[in-house]
A and B are shown apart, each in its own frame.
Chain A
Amino acid sequence: NAGVTQTPKFQVLKTGQSMTLQCAQDMNHEYMSWYRQDPGMGLRLIHYSVGAGITDQGEVPNGYNVSRSTTEDFPLRLLSAAPSQTSVYFCASSLVPGRTEAFFGQGTRLTVV
């Protein structure tokens, strides 16, 4: 029962560095998304994808890129890390967005110094 798998669990970056957060799901869900969680703000949508080859921006996309070459994988790239990107990042997938359960990964705690 893998579900949604995120790596790494923790990461510390220096300002200006780039990195990729990995996300994989084994439920054959077309819809996948990335959120960031900041204290007192709930989860905010960064980018989402409705299927392989199709991505779109969410509420807070600046500074992040995504791609979706397969149904299973949806990596999130930080292009040039900034302290404002210190957050906890969650990947999620669902069968029918907004109607069925979203399955979340365990999260990646990112600190940018």
Chain B
Amino acid sequence: AQSVTQLDSHVSVSEGTPVLLRCNYSSSYSPSLFWYVQHPNKGLQLLLKYTSAATLVKGINGFEAEFKKSETSFHLTKPSAHMSDAAEYFCVVSVSTGGFKTIFGAGTRLFVKA
């Protein structure tokens, strides 16, 4: 069975400080992993994805994530938060097993303080 857990429902950081959004997954198969961002009243936009290539994945807007198989984690980081990063972030796991299954995490809302 597949599952994804975003460990924090809310994260608050000050502008210019690092961002860490945590995601753990469970999968019986080799997963593809994604992070999406959703700004208020908007659709979701892909930040980055891991599909069994390099374990350190760089995305848009300075975000990156590292796939750690031993820890079953795919945490999202950014060295320096910007006010425009305030949004909701979703970790997503997908597996192909003949068919495929995609599961969204519950989301982490990021607040950025001036």
Contacts and interface: CB of A to CB of B under 8 A. Distances in A.
Q: How large is the interface on B (under 10, 10 to 19, 20 to 34, 35 or more residues)?
A: 20 to 34
B14 interface: no
A108 to B, nearest CB: 11
A42 B94 contact: no
Nearest to A44: B104
The winner among B36, B44, B94 for most chain A CB atoms within 10 A is: B44
Interface string B88-104: 00100011100011101
Interface in A20-68: 35, 40-45
A48 B31 CA distance: 20
A97 B102 contact: yes
Q: Is the interface of B mostly helix, strand, loop or mixed?
A: strand
B51 A43 contact: no
Q: How large is the interface on A (under 10, 10 to 19, 20 to 34, 35 or more residues)?
A: 10 to 19
Contacts of B102: 45, 97-98
B90 A43 contact: yes
A93 B44 CA distance: 12
Interface string A1-36: 000100000000000000000000000000000010
A87 B102 CA distance: 20
Contact of A40 (B9, B32, B49): B9
A98 B106 contact: no
A42 B106 contact: yes
Contacts of A98: 32, 94-96, 100-102
A12 B44 CA distance: 23
B58 to A, nearest CB: 15
B106 A40 contact: yes
22 contacts: A4-B43, A40-B9, A42-B104, A42-B106, A43-B90, A44-B104, A90-B44, A97-B102, A98-B32, A98-B100, A101-B46, A101-B49, A102-B36, A104-B44, A104-B45, A105-B43, A106-B41, A106-B42, A106-B43, A107-B41, A107-B42, A107-B43
